[in-house]
Amino acid sequence: MSKKTDSQKNQRIQVFARCRPLNNIERRQGSPSVVEVIPDKKEILIKDRTTNREFFFDKVFPPDAKQIHVYKAVVGPLIQEVLNGYNCTVFAYGQTGTGKTYTMEGERSNAGCSWEDDPGAGIIPRSLHQLFEELNKEENVEFSVRVSFLELYNEELFDLLSSNELFRLRLYEDSNRKGSVIIQGLEEILVNNKDEVYAILEKGTTRRQTAATKLNESSSRSHTVFSVTVHIKENTVEGEELLKTGKLNLVDLAGSENVGRSGAIDKRAREAGNINQSLLTLGRVITALIEKQPHIPYRESKLTRLLQDSLGGHTKTSIIATISPALCNFDETISTLDYATKAKSITIRPEVNQKMTKRALIREYTEEIERLRRDLAALRNKDGFFVDADNYSALLNLVTTNENMVKEREEKIELLKEENLKLIFGSYYFCFVQFSLFPMPKRKRGITGDAASRREAIRKRERSVVETEEERSRRLSTMAQRGQDRRAEETEEQRNSRLSDMAQRGQERRAEETEEQRNSRLAVMGQRSQQKRAEETEEQRNSRLVIMAQRGQERRAKGTNEQRNSRLSAMLQHARERRLTVIEGQNHHQIQSFYTDRTVLN
């Protein structure tokens, strides 16, 4: 009996896959279809030139699938669960331009046609239609339906139904329900029928952030969450009134985007970066849940904080993975299906929301009103506190939580900076770290120099070298090995591109430096070179000269006649300058000797 109960409590996330038809852009490019949808086997087959890959889901939808069929399979069964007091979430995930917004919101194919009769209507209008149909079936049932429309744009929360479009919402932990969040300032609008919901939906969608890209003429630049909360009044045998609550969250995620292919620049590129970062965090959360890691990185993005209860909590969740059938989107399609396959392994524990008596609900609202009144009284008194003492303690706890979160973010930023340096500079980062550990001594000051500043500089230099010689050697050896591995894996084109970028940066830095800085840099380089040559063995010296000769031969073999003539001309010019310098020095020496001899004779 207990096993059966456990199996009922622990459920898998339901995962569906929908493939759209080829769009006009893909047809113009002549990109063939590489996706085969097999509904009977619940399978999606990706046909590649070298191999075929199979993906299996709870249900798959071919390109000709109707909106009503998708709705009945994915959301239809969840409406009754909402009426039974569960929280349910459905969200669409996939590459930009694969039909997520079309699946969730749909489109009006005929302005004179109602939403429920429109074949292009999506999940949101259809779910509200079914919800009101079910609620109106039973007589003498009192209920209320409230809706909200939330947008997450560039990691900022906005209310799409608020009169103040620029007001940013705040996100807090729900102390009464672990894993859930409270969005301060989000309006929940009371609706009485489905027609009011359709008007609200159209109002919110017109305010959502969208833009045209090379991959999608109407690309969503934000994530949205359309929430429906249902309160149903019931009477117990004893005649006591109970309030049952269910909630449906319908999430339309912005699409993952390749900035190079989409042509996004400036503002659009920043939007794409924020979208990809939040989706990357979502993928990391899914991986951590599957591997049952002790730490799940929900806090690294507001998107994952919003979906925390849906992914690893007590909400019944379904995911719709949307894909493109075109060969040009092969990599993005594989990535989407891989994530969807991983999500199938996530286990959730749905729980019915606790029914509240009318008395308990009134008491909860009364306590909330009393708390707000205390805050107002404290504000009017202006006795040093602007909130009540109890609320002030709660705020202090919130500040502590935020400080810990900021500290974690700062540590993460430092790690990312270090990783970026390694990726950008490759093996040259190794040299940069080596030289930074042994800074060159500064130019000596005169006797009148500031002794205190010199002592402070010495202390800073001593503090910079805190690791032992063995630790330093081991770290530098590991970094050098990583650099060699990366260079071994890169193609000739990637290597040339990297070296070209480095050369360009070097030219820009040299163009900006003054004559004094240039002379100082060349002197330091010469001193380091002499020091290294003095320390190397005969064998190392011979090996270095052989490598330099080999590189010179390779460069000369690759160079054109024009480059060769330019190089020889530069060498001749350099030789002439050196000879002139030597001659001038000799002449100067002879003149000095002449005057010295003349002085002696006199």
Q: Across-strand partners of 210?
A: 220
Residue 98, annotated as binding a ligand? yes
CA angle 281, 283, 287 (to 5 degrees): 115
Residue 100, annotated as binding a ligand? yes
CB–CB of 47/55 below 8 Å?
no
Computed on alpha carbons and rounded to an integer, the radius of gyration of the chain in Å comes to 34
Residue 85, annotated as binding a ligand? no
Residue 166 tokens read as 């620029």
Secondary element (H or E) of residue 520:
helix 515-535
- The rounded distance, in Å, linking the Cα atoms of 264 and 271 is 9
- The rounded distance, in Å, linking the Cα atoms of 320 and 96 is 14
Q: Across-strand partners of 35?
A: 46
> For residue 507, what are the CA distances in angstroms to 116, 266, 502, 512?
64, 26, 9, 9
The percent helix, strand, coil of the chain (3-state, each to 5) is 55, 20, 25
- The rounded distance, in Å, linking the Cα atoms of 483 and 487 is 6
**DSSP strand pairing (168-173 vs 156-159):** antiparallel
* HSE-up of residue 57 (Cα within 13 Å, Cβ side): 32
Q: Pick left, alpha or beta for residue 219 (phi over 0 → left; psi -120 to 50 → alpha; otherwise beta).
A: beta
Is residue 550 helix, strand or coil? helix
- For residue 95, how many other CB atoms are within 10 A of its CB? 23
Secondary element (H or E) of residue 198:
helix 194-207
Residue 558, annotated as binding a ligand? no
- The rounded distance, in Å, linking the Cα atoms of 109 and 183 is 34
Residue 95, annotated as binding a ligand? yes
CB–CB of 185/172 below 8 Å?
no
Residue 97, annotated as binding a ligand? yes
- The rounded distance, in Å, linking the Cα atoms of 211 and 220 is 7
Residue 551 tokens read as 């590189």
- The rounded distance, in Å, linking the Cα atoms of 72 and 346 is 23
**Residue ranges with strand state E in 459-567:** none
Dihedral, 111, 115, 121, 127 alpha carbons, nearest 10: 160
Secondary element (H or E) of residue 409:
helix 389-425
Residue set of the binding site: 94-101
Known binding positions for ATP = 94-101
